[in-house]
Amino acid sequence: MQLDFRGAIRKALDDELTADPAVILFGEDIGAAGGAFAVTTGLQEKHPNRVLDTPISELALSGAGFGAALCGLRPVVEIMFGDFLPLAMDSLLNQASKFWYMSNGQASVPMVVRCVVGAGGRFGPIHSQTPIAWFMSVPGIKIVGPSTPADAYSLLRAAVRDENPVLFLEHKRLYTVKGEVSGEQQSIGEAAIVREGADLTLVSALRAVPDCLEAAAMLESAGISAEVIDLKTLRPPDIPTIVKSVKKTHRLMVVEEGPRTGGWAGEILAAVTEECLGVMQSAWRLTTADHPVPYSPGLEDAFLPSATSIVASVTQHMAGGKVDA
């Protein structure tokens, strides 16, 4: 069936609530209001005792999710914007992520935290971040970032069924994207080659994946064949799939919507280089600048990676020039 991205999220939540009475969904304004981005519209009417509005407290939300998971439920917690995740850090980083280890594998925390991320919507610097790097170094948390409605549906259902905490990121500029949703099952931790190529491997996730695909089509007309990999899962990343591709193309470019310093793109580059140093001709990253997301439309557009900036970076690098990340 054809669904837009937000409809795929809504259907995944509806199907999991229907399939498993242990699944509950709660967050700020997700009930009667249907959520800030109209993702949960109608779910409270269909599941009145299990879709719950909450007070405005991200720490309370994450703490309640942690406790509910320990008591046998499978909570899906919505944090309205990923920028507010620091308010929930203690429950996520010091409790939920470590409980399986601290209990010697005797208890798990089947908890999903959904949140909206990403720039390009004119939301300003405090509502436009993509905080993947904040969680990349935390053992025990999985980080999922789909780029298509099909992936959003399948990976959210996989996240709800996972026995340990999953941070599920939804890019706000993907909500209106439409696509076929077949319901095919997917596993967290598996990347996909979404376009095959021979000269260069482009790796990204979330909203940057469509940009990479557009850039690959533009590069094709210039005689450069780019393979595009959609990570889908940022932690744990599917390094073997990238390594196999790079051993074929001998070049790697990672595109991240996030600051260069400490970003996940650098981790991907390091991990792949360890495996491909002998065959790799070049590897680099394209990220946002190390400053807050601009509010001005013109500045925000220039700040973000785009198909045009990807093509410019590839062309410059493969011509032997300096590449600006």
Query: Any idea what the CATH number is for the domain that residue 220 is in?
Result: 3.40.50.920
Q: What is the per-residue pLDDT for 321? A: 44
- Report pLDDT digits (tens) over 84-117: 999 999 999 999 999 999 999 999 999 999 999 9
| Mean pLDDT in residue range 201-219 | 98
Boundary of a domain, candidates 155, 180, 205: 180
- Are 158 and 255 members of one domain? no
Mean pLDDT of 225-252: 98
Same-domain check for residues 241 and 205: yes
Where residue 320 falls among pLDDT bands split at 50, 70, 90? Answer: low
Residue closest to 237 by CA, chosen among 206, 194, 268, 210? 268
% of the chain exceeding 90 in pLDDT: 96
Residue 323 has pLDDT above 60, yes or no: no
- Closest listed residue to residue 188, CA positions, set 158, 209, 165: 158
Res 183: pLDDT? 85
Q: Contact at 8 Å (CB) between 149 and 3? A: yes
Task: Indicate whether 191 pLDDT > 60.
Answer: yes
Catalytic site residue 317?
no
Residue 16 clears pLDDT 80, i.e. is over it? yes
Q: Is residue 161 part of a domain?
A: yes
Q: Is residue 102 part of a domain?
A: yes
Is the domain of 25 the same as that of 169? Answer: yes
**Position 199 in a domain:** yes
Residue 32, judged by CB atoms within 10 A of its CB (0-12, 13-18, 19+), counts as exposed
pLDDT score recorded for residue 254: 98
- At a CB cut-off of 8 Å and minimum separation 6, what does 229 contact? 191, 192, 193, 194, 201, 202, 203, 204, 241, 242, 245
Residue 259 placed within a domain: yes
325 inside domain? no
> Are 172 and 196 in the same domain?
no
Mean pLDDT within 237-247: 98
What mean pLDDT is predicted for residues 205-228?
Answer: 97
Shared domain for 197 and 173, answered yes or no, is no
Whether residue 105 sits in one domain with residue 16:
yes
Q: 150 and 28, same structural domain?
A: yes
324 within a domain of the structure (yes/no): no
User: 97 and 76, same structural domain?
Assistant: yes
Averaged pLDDT score across all residues of the chain: 95
Tell me what pLDDT residue 102 has: 94
What's the chain look like in SS3? CEEEHHHHHHHHHHHHHHHCCCEEEEECCCCCCCCCCCCCCCHHHHCCCCEEECCCCHHHHHHHHHHHHHCCCEEEEEEEEHHHHHHHHHHHHHHHCCHHHHCCCCCCCCCEEEEEECCCCCCCCCCCCCCCCCCCCCCCCEEECCCCHHHHHHHHHHHHHCCCCEEEEEEHHHCCCEEECCCCCCCCCCCEEEECCCCEEEEECCCHHHHHHHHHHHHHCCCCCEEEEECCEEECCCHHHHHHHHHHHCEEEEEEEEECCCCHHHHHHHHHHHHHCCCCCEEEEEEECCCCCCCCHHHHHHHCCCHHHHHHHHHHHHCCCCCCC
Count how many domains the chain has.
Answer: 2
Q: pLDDT tens for residues 147-167?
A: 999 999 999 999 999 999 999
Query: Is it the case that residue 301 has pLDDT exceeding 60?
Result: yes
pLDDT band at 8 (very low <50, low <70, confident <90, very high): very high
Nearest to 135 by CA among 113, 156, 153: 113
Res. 223: pLDDT tops 60: yes
187 located within any domain: no
What is the amino acid identity at position 19? A
Q: Strand 142-144 relative to strand 74-81: parallel, antiparallel, unpaired?
A: unpaired
Catalytic residue (choose from 47, 127, 171, 317): 127
The answer to whether the CB of 230 falls within 8 A of the CB of 154 is no
CA dist., res. 223 & res. 91, Å (int): 50
Residue 318 binned pLDDT confidence (cut-offs 50, 70, 90): confident
| Per-residue pLDDT reduced to its tens digit, 111-150 | 999 999 999 999 999 999 999 999 999 999 999 999 999 9
- Same domain for 47 and 175, yes or no, is yes
Interval 17-38 mean pLDDT: 96
Show which of 180, 212, 234 is a domain's final residue: 180
Identify whether 323 is part of a domain: no
Of the three residues 126, 157, 180, the one that is the final residue of a domain is 180
CATH number at residue 127: 3.40.50.970
Whether residues 210 and 288 fall in one domain: yes
Domain shared by 33 and 164, yes or no: yes
How far apart CA 88 and CA 25 sit, in angstroms, is 17
Residue 294's domain comprises 192-318
312 and 270 share a domain?
yes
Beta bridge partners of 200: 226
* CA–CA distance, 225 with 229 (Å, rounded to integer): 13
